[in-house]
Structure 1
Amino acid sequence: MDTHTHVDFTRPGRPPRRPRGAVRALTAVAVAAAVAAGGAYAAGLGPFAGEDGPDPEAVAEARAFLADWAAGRLPDAAARTTSPDRARQVLRSFTEGLDIDGPELTDGTPRETGDGAVTVPFTARMPVTGLGTWTYASELPLREQDDGGWKVDWRLSLVHPRLDDGHKFRLEREETGPVRALDRDGRTLSAGTHPSLAPVLARLAGGGGPRGAVRLVDRATGETVRTEASFGGGATAKDAGPVRTTLDADWQSAAERALGEAGGKNAALVALRVDDGEVLAVANAPASGFNRALSGTYAPGSTWKIVTGGALLLEGAVAPDDVVDCPRYLTVGKRFQNVETSEHRGATFREAFTASCNTAFIGLRDKLGDGELGDVAREYFGVGQTWHVGVPSYDGSVPVPRDATEKAASMIGQGRVQANPLIMASVTATAVSGAFHQPSLVAGTEDTTTTTPLPPRVAAQLRELMRATVTGGTAGVLADLPGEIGAKTGTAEVSDDQENNGWMVAHRGGVAVACVVEEGVTGGGSAGPVIRDLLAAVPAS
């Protein structure tokens, strides 16, 4: 059965403008306002280059608009436009009417236009619930206002270039039955026995699952003008044979039980094999709905220090026994601090890693080039390349920092660094084995990734650092379990009005796992008990 969702919009007028005045002196005020609205990392605030480029206040306003839109703060986003009421209505209709959940909006290089306005291009990744991600490019026009400030010059086409008075979007869904699936040993998997697999089984390659499309239609006639995005399209479930997956029914059951330790919070977990990337378990809480484990977009927090540490070790910029210091605070455009404002004066790099010292890692930022962290993530860990897992997945993003503050944030897995449990389980497996293996849920999936193995020295150092984090650091919750476990905790800031997300990654034997607990406050206190429960329930070998 096809279902249709209509999204209606109208175009407002454009306000008058005056020539640019002495606006640059107000930049600090604009920065403070943007931070107060939330999303200080996402807004990308910090020092800007030269007086010859676009007005930094305009660029900051564009980034703040995108940050508010992406975070679902639609009234705040609308207030940054020249037509707040209409913008709020359109943005809400667009996201709700097309079932978009958690958009990712990445700004590009701003430019001045001939009429004194500023244009900021951006890339939109719009996850359509239960179907996949719709990706497109658009632009934000900004104009200076009579009070000297800047606003987004509201028009329909900024939401999507083809949206106008004569056209609208329609979401069409074709519901199909669930795919029949088997685990790696031939045991039947179903949403009835393993509820967390519901969003996974619906999208398995070779099976049925939901199909749909976003259509551009004529407002007057309702006729389709073009198809903007298509999702699904495999054989129907009743015609397709069972799909043999890499999942393990025992690991899957243990993972779903372990998420009970999340205390009812939104959470997700992935377990995969270190030597080949085959996924053993995918669990989400709540079990139905959005597949956070594979498609979520989160700042990975200090679990990302595995990648940062790898980059520093590759560069020869630091060794485990080098003294790096760990002060309570460090200011790089904004003040960074350690969890509970702890400090470890005279700490070695090993101690900074095991204690998860933010300021020590930020203090080493100049040892890496501006784009080097992203290059290492892509080349050695496969993050940001296109993965063919067997179901739709988000494969990570590590953009080049826009300023010194964002570079500092990226060193500790904040800023615009984005990942999910699938990515961080893979990062852990890569660090342990020294080689990236594309994660997979179905045997024989296409692999278009190209990576370089970590030098054996670096892989050995990362294993030693993760082991020390269990025996004498923030992952001590795992210390009494059997087997030689290595781990890393993470605490990721979200916004001023939300508690931090809690992260933990770990490995034991031939398996790597990763867990995130939304608003879990700390990784050791929230994700730690989940992973402990999982590892206690499965064999240590």
Structure 2
Amino acid sequence: MTDVAPLTGPGHRPGRRPGRRPARKGPRVVVAAGLTLALAAGIGYAAELGPFDPGPQIPDPEATRQARAFLADWEAGRMDRAAALTSSPEQAERVLQSFTAGLDISKPTLTPGATTVGDDGAVTVAFTAKMPVTELGTWTYDSALPLRKQDDGAWKVDWALSLVHPKLSSTEKFRLEREDSAGPTITDREGSDLSAETHPSLGPLLPQIAGGSGAGPRGAVQRVDRATGDVKGTEASFGKKSDRPADRPVATTLDATWQSAAEKALTAEADGKDAALVALRIDDGEILAVANSPTSGFNRAVSGTYAPGSTWKIVTTSALLLKGAVAPGDVVDCPQYLTVGKRFQNVETSEYRGATFRKDFTASCNTAFISLRDKVGDQELGDVAGKYFGVGQKWRVGIPSYDGSVPVPRDQTEKAASMIGQGRVQANPLIMASVTATAVSGTFHQPTLTSGKDTTTTTPLPREVVKQLRELMRATVTDGTASVLADLPGDVGAKTGTAEVSDDAPNNGWFVAHRGNVAVACVVEKGVTGGASAGPVVRSLLGAVPDDPS
């Protein structure tokens, strides 16, 4: 061990060890100076530039909540509640109430965006406004909500005209200008005029059909001087000029006879419930009728998003038959209940022990179909729907349409639900009428109301699969849940469906059918069962129009 002499005592000078030469002072001064500069630079770095920079301020969550509440109330038309969240409630309510007056705007959509904090502590929440202008289109613009903390600690929207729209001011407002045009005449497949007066369900569709032809309504949202009315600018334009002569009608595939019969069937048999129906030709996909109840507003038939329930078993059966996973004569037991993460059951908890797959289809046995879930891959149901039935591809119908979705199940419970048209499987009467047409013909034809371009790519079903599907759907009429059609002449086939909506709401009723060259699909919201609610609607339609259109 080496002893170390103490650095104290007589003759000791700080900084110098006994027996050593004094260290040079130059380097020590340089080091000290360098350290001083480094510390000085470090202080500046920490204060302004480096990792010690606190960065942008984090917005107070309460400010963001207030902004979202304001937008939600404004969007829902609760102008008094929205105004109460501002610094000037009376003025805010007056402006919010009058902003869309004369602009023919229905229900707006207001979507919050990024939130920032200013140097003065004010919070700004950006948002996008989408204002649907009746029969023209959507006026979309961006704006922002400034919020300030009040003396009592509460956050409020700092009211200003410009937050409603950046160009709204005390001197300028907005005005809707429509072109004075009655639009083109719309005709059915035989050249007969169609109108909302003769066919009420077509009221919301006719402007869309005209617009798709390039001859639809036109107009603009203009910014004008409040005092003089002079136009200062155009904020949104709708429609486009058409090369179509003004006296040239827009022809559709609709059939006036089928359209009338479809509307009357809904009125007579849907029991006042929200419902929709589509009829189309099997050999080419041309749409003969589109009917909605109520006749005004949302087009459930073409743009609706519903769980198709057991009508989807047509697609599930196709997937099973395509790979030889089951045959109609195979025994596939149908118990009352089957648990796959949750308990599934049949309508009225029916059961058919020792049933064949044919019986499972005609009786619409949920548990039997779910028991076959391991026979198809997780993605296979969606692949079959897209490859053979065109579901999920982009359809060019001639009006806006929803073309279906069959997501890959997230777990086994969702896969079980998908087998019976529940879970996240989505369709509408247009899709299910097309599914029916494809199943009984073997070939998908993109549905259309006009001469739209078909951009889909599909593969025909094998003949043996088509033969089996037709036999199963025919048996469903003669010996199963679709017996409401049993008295109709001809080789009529069908499939019923009951789709759960929620635990506390009645089921939707579904019914699809084919006869001759026509396929039909109907949904009745809260119809409980398809055979009892949608079945009579389809029966009424097919009974009223005995002959297929040429």
Q: Under a length normalisation based on structure 2, what TM-score does the superposition of the two structures give?
A: 0.67
Q: Does 1:350 align with 2:358?
A: yes
Query: Is residue 14 of structure 1 aligned with residue 61 of structure 2?
Result: yes
SS at structure 2 position matched to 1:202? helix
Pairwise CA distance, 1:196: 0.7
Partner of 2:489: 482
Q: Deviations over 1:200-258 (max 9, x none)?
A: 2111121544568999xxxxxxx99998xx97546399936211111111111111110
Instruction: Report the equivalent of 1:503.
Output: 510
In the superposition, relative to structure 1, how do residues 133 and 195 fare at CA in structure 2: closer, same or farther (>3 Å)?
A: same
Corresponding residue for residue 448 of structure 2: 440
Q: Which string of whole-angstrom CA distances, capped at 9 and with x for unpartnered residues, describes residues 103-140 of structure 1?
A: 9xxxxxxxxxxxxxxxxxxxxx99998667999xxxxx
Q: 1:187 aligns with which of 192, 198, 208?
A: 192
Q: Of 468, 471, 475, which aligns to 1:468?
A: 475
Q: State how far apart, in whole Å, the 2-side matches of 1:169 and 1:438 are.
A: 44
The one-character-per-residue Cα deviations of 1:329-348 (angstroms, maximum 9, x if unpaired) are 11111111111111111111
Paired residue for 2:457, among 450, 453, 458?
Answer: 450
From 242, 251, 262, the counterpart of 1:255: 262
Letter in 2 for 1:13: D
Are the counterparts in 1 of residues 214 and 240 from structure 2 also a CA contact under 8 Å? no
CA offset digits 1:496-535 (Å, max 9, x no partner):
3321111100000000000011111110111000000000
Q: Which runs of 5+ in 1 are unaligned?
A: 1-10, 16-81, 104-124, 136-163, 216-222
Q: How far apart are residue 327 of structure 1 and its match?
A: 1.1
- Which of residues 182, 206, 220 is equivalent to 1:201? 206
- Name the aligned partner's letter for residue 90 of structure 1: L
Cα distance change of structure 1 residues 264 and 483 upon mapping to structure 2, 3 Å threshold? same
- Kindly indicate whether residue 298 of structure 2 is the aligned counterpart of residue 290 of structure 1: yes
Range with greater deviation from structure 2 (232-241 or 337-346): 232-241
Q: In structure 2, how many angstroms separate the alpha carbons of the residues matched to 1:488 and 1:320?
A: 16
Verify: 1:428 aligned to 2:436, yes or no: yes
How well do the aligned residues superpose, as a CA RMSD in angstroms?
Answer: 3.6
Q: Equivalent residue of 2:204, what SS?
A: helix
CA distance in 1, matches of 2:418, 2:133: 28
Structure 2 CA distance for aligned equivalents of residues 126 and 367 of structure 1: 48
Compared CA separation, residues 133 and 433, structure 1 to 2 (3 A): farther
Q: What pairs with 1:97-116 in structure 2 (closer than 5 Å)? A: 99=106
Q: Which runs of 5+ in 2 are unaligned?
A: 1-57, 78-99, 111-129, 141-161, 169-173, 223-231
What amino acid does structure 2 have at the position aligned with 1:420?
N
Structure label with greater radius of gyration: 2
| Shift, 1:371, TM fit | 1.0
Q: Structure 1 CA distance, aligned partners of 2:337 and 2:108?
A: 35
CA change 1:428–1:85 in 2 (3 A) is farther
- What code does the residue aligned with 1:511 have? V
Partner AA of 2:535 in structure 1: G
For 1:354, give the aligned amino acid: T
Q: Give the superposition deviation at 1:481.
A: 1.0
Q: What letter matches 1:503 in structure 2?
A: W
- 1:525 and 1:126 map into 2 onto residues whose CA distance is 40
- Given that 1:395 and 1:423 are in contact with CA atoms closer than 8 Å, whether structure 2 keeps it comes out as yes
Give distance in 2, aligned partners of 1:363 and 1:244: 48
User: For the residues of structure 2 that align with 1:324 and 1:231, how far apart are their CA atoms?
Assistant: 57
Give the residue type in structure 1 aligned to 2:444. Answer: F
Distance 1:461 1:213 in 2: 55
1:89 Cα deviation from its structure 2 partner = 4.6
Q: Which residue of 1 aligns with 2:31?
A: none
Does the C-alpha gap of structure 1 residues 338 and 480 become closer, same or farther in structure 2, counting only changes over 3 Å?
A: same
**Of 320, 337, 345, which aligns to 1:337?**
345
Task: Quote the offset at 1:537 in angstroms.
Answer: 0.4
Mapped to 1, the partners of 2:133 and 2:380 lie a distance apart of 32
Displacement of 1:463 in angstroms is: 0.7
Residues 180 and 237 of structure 1 are in contact (CA less than 8 Å); yes or no, is this contact kept in structure 2? no
The aligned residue for residue 84 of structure 2 is none
- Return the match for 1:532 from 529, 539, 545: 539
Aligned match for 1:405, one of 388, 396, 413: 413
Would you say the 8 A contact 2:217–2:239 is kept in 1? Answer: yes
Contact 1:179 1:237 in 2 (8 A): no
CA offset at residue 455 of structure 1? 0.5
The question of whether the paired residues in 2 share the 8 Å contact of 1:177 and 1:209 is answered with no
Q: Does 1:273 align with 2:281?
A: yes
Give the Å deviation of 1:168. Answer: 8.2
**What secondary structure sits across from 1:502 in the alignment?**
strand
Question: Partner letter of residue 484 of structure 2?
Answer: V
Alignment-mate amino acid for residue 312 of structure 1: L
Instruction: State the percentage of identical aligned residues.
Output: 69
Number of residue pairs matched by the alignment: 407
What CA distance in whole angstroms lies between the structure 1 residues aligned with 2:514 and 2:389?
Answer: 16
User: What SS does structure 2 have at the residue aligned with 1:203?
Assistant: helix
> Does structure 2 conserve the Cα–Cα contact (< 8 Å) formed by 1:283 and 1:293?
yes
Q: Which residue of 72, 85, 90 corresponds with 2:71?
A: 90
Q: Does structure 2 retain, via aligned residues, the 8 Å contact 1:181–1:245?
A: yes
- SS of aligned partner of 2:457: coil
Aligned to 1:391: 399
Tell me the amino acid that sits aligned with residue 186 of structure 1.
Answer: G
| Contact 1:101–1:127 under 8 Å retained in 2 | yes
> Does the C-alpha gap of structure 1 residues 353 and 457 become closer, same or farther in structure 2, counting only changes over 3 Å?
same
1:206–1:234: 8 Å Cα contact kept in structure 2?
A: no
1:452-509, Cα deviation, whole Å (9 max, x unpaired): 0001111111111111110011100010011111001111111233211111000000
Match of 2:424 among 416, 421, 425: 416
Shift of 1:435: 0.3
CA distance in 1, matches of 2:323, 2:264: 41
Q: What is the CA–CA distance in structure 1 between the aligned matches of 2:219 and 2:304, rounded to whole Å?
A: 20
The verdict on how the C-alpha distance between 1:424 and 1:508 changes in structure 2, with shifts beyond 3 A counting, is same
Question: Hey, what does 2:246 align to over in structure 1?
Answer: 239
Equivalents in 1 of 2:301, 2:109: separation in Å? 14
CA shift in 2, pair 1:331/1:253, >3 Å: same
Partner of 1:60: none
AA of the residue aligned to 1:516: V
Aligned-residue offset at 1:101:
9.7
Q: Is the 8 A contact 1:504 1:524 kept in 2?
A: yes
Q: Aligned partners of 1:397, 1:128: CA distance in 2, in Å?
A: 28
Query: Over residues 27-70 of structure 1, what are the superposed CA-to-partner deviations in whole Å (9 max), with x where a residue is unaligned?
Result: xxxxxxxxxxxxxxxxxxxxxxxxxxxxxxxxxxxxxxxxxxxx
Q: Residues 401, 235 of structure 1: CA spacing in aligned structure 2 closer, same or farther, 3 A cutoff?
A: same
Distance 1:474 1:207 in 2: 45
Spell out the pairing of 1:128-207 with structure 2 (5 A cutoff). Answer: 177-204=182-209, 205-206=212-213
* Contact 2:509–2:528 (Cα < 8 Å) also in 1: yes
User: Which residue is equivalent to 1:305?
Assistant: 313
Match of 1:219 in 2: none
Post-superposition shift, 1:356?
0.8
Q: What residue in structure 2 maps to residue 75 of structure 1?
A: none
